Amino acid sequence: MEGDASRRDTLIRMTAGDGRIRAVAALTTQTVDEARARHQTSPIATAALGKALTGGLLLSAALMKDGGRLTVRVLGQGPLGGIIVDAGFDGSVRGYVARPDLQLPVTAQGTLDIGGAVGREGFLYVTHDSGLGHPYTGVVELVSGELGEDFTHYLATSEQIPAAVSLGIYVEADGRVSSAGGLLVQLLPGAGDEIAWRLEQNIRALPGFTTLARKWGTPEEIARAALTGFQSEILSSQAIAFSCQCSSERVLTAIASLGQKEIRAMLDEDGKAEVRCHFCNEEYVVSGAQLAEMLEAS
């Protein structure tokens, strides 16, 4: 709904329990639906990509600082193939999936079989780029391929952060996304057993994310549901959007870097160059005249 600010995708970061608990909650419905429209994803691919996009945003908000970005790669052995997501601390995110058209039967419970699509075996890689150089990558084996559990396992194992990640994407019969988002709750160093125990009870009592989102409607209320009984306060709130850094200038630079021989071959064989951005599926066409100009300039 355009113009309705309360419906815009938002991510909030909160603190609770005398600074010993951090919570990040996000509603990502429009963002995930834009990914669906751009990549023309099937319902199962929409749900898996949507969870990875949302998980990437939550992790970026929890682990990075201003200017930082995370790349999440889910490389499972299932028929969906890999999922790649690039998520920034600034709330921008983009991503794609290897098999956007995958069709799979629903589970016995009638739900989308995300674990079956992603694969219950494989790896989750998370690359941290602070923007100041020296990116590094953490990796864990997948637990279930359902992604919420896999992100939880990643935080516990690779980052040594006790946390719980819940992700929910609801795809309607016509393929559109009507609800998407996620919640990440983590214990910070120094949290005693009392805080840990109470938080765990809260998290166990929570329903799945889609039910939470339907009941509460804003990231703040969703996070407060997880923080019941604790004093909590908002650290930051920001808009979330599907956003890609590709541009025709970048495409021209990339083609120019291929060298004379390649450019000459494109010109002779196709009379132009067509380049599609993996991340956002935008297509760029470089005309024969532009290719000829590059050859003259080089």
Residues that bind Zn ion (CB under 5 A): 244, 246, 277, 279-280, 282
Tokens 């929890």 — which residue?
Answer: 62
Cβ 179 vs Cβ 213: under 8 Å: yes
Using alpha carbons, list the distances in angstroms from residue 40 to 37, 102, 200.
5, 11, 39
Q: What is the pairing mode between strands 92-97 and 241-242?
A: parallel
Cβ 8 vs Cβ 236: under 8 Å: no
Say which amino acid occupies 24.
Answer: V
Q: How far is the CB of 280 from Zn ion (least distance, A)?
A: 3
Closest residue by Cα to residue 184 from 217, 212, 215, 145? 212
In terms of CB distance, is 86 or 129 closer to Zn ion? Answer: 86
Q: Mention every residue, 6+ apart, whose C-beta is less than 8 A from residue 162.
A: 155, 156, 186, 187, 196
In terms of CB distance, is 123 or 284 closer to Zn ion? Answer: 284
User: Residue 198 class from Cβ within 10 Å (0-12 exposed, 13-18 middle, 19+ buried)?
Assistant: middle
In terms of CB distance, is 214 or 250 closer to Zn ion? Answer: 250
Q: How far is the CB of 30 from Zn ion (least distance, A)?
A: 18
In terms of CB distance, is 210 or 243 closer to Zn ion? Answer: 243
In terms of CB distance, is 77 or 243 closer to Zn ion? Answer: 243
User: Residue 269 class from Cβ within 10 Å (0-12 exposed, 13-18 middle, 19+ buried)?
Assistant: exposed
Q: Helices in 185-247 by DSSP H: which ranges?
A: 193-205, 209-216, 219-226
In terms of CB distance, is 59 or 246 closer to Zn ion? Answer: 246
The CA radius of gyration of the chain, in Å to the nearest whole number, is 21
Q: How far is the CB of 277 from Zn ion (least distance, A)?
A: 3
Q: How far is the CB of 283 from Zn ion (least distance, A)?
A: 10
Q: How far is the CB of 246 from Zn ion (least distance, A)?
A: 3
In terms of CB distance, is 15 or 71 closer to Zn ion? Answer: 71
In terms of CB distance, is 72 or 277 closer to Zn ion? Answer: 277
Q: Mention every residue, 6+ apart, whose C-beta is less than 8 A from residue 272.
A: 266, 285, 286, 287, 288, 291
d(CA 141, CA 124): 6
Q: How far is the CB of 247 from Zn ion (least distance, A)?
A: 8
Q: How far is the CB of 84 from Zn ion (least distance, A)?
A: 12
Q: How far is the CB of 279 from Zn ion (least distance, A)?
A: 5
